[in-house]
Structure 1
């Protein structure tokens, strides 16, 4: 829907958003999207982050004492 069409019939644009988002163009280029508030909330609802999904709060009680390798030697690194 062009900006001109939108300005002339806002009611039509609102009716169409009940089915699909309405893309409002400016000189043929999409400039805005009109959608229902329910769809907006669905799109912007906070999703669980990868860090949250990988977090293991119950593992805080696990004791972890790895054995140090005696075969690995450290060496100088030239970072110049």
Structure 2
């Protein structure tokens, strides 16, 4: 390949990388702007495990995890006792 084609290839690669970075930054900006708009429209969810609303929301998942852990413990009890 000639030196001119190497230079053209380098420039086009640089433009492609810069366009990809610009596209990614614009997507991030759009995402955070949308999250900010949604945060204004909806009240924040309870974030503390001590909050009763948080406990009600996460109770079914925690019960499933607890039941699965108990089943696993019962299945492998012979390994734990020896």
Fold match (TM-score > 0.5): no
Greater share of residues in helix: 2
TM-score, length-scaled by structure 2: 0.30
Which structure would you say has the larger RCO, counting Cα contacts within 8 Å and 6 or more residues apart? 1
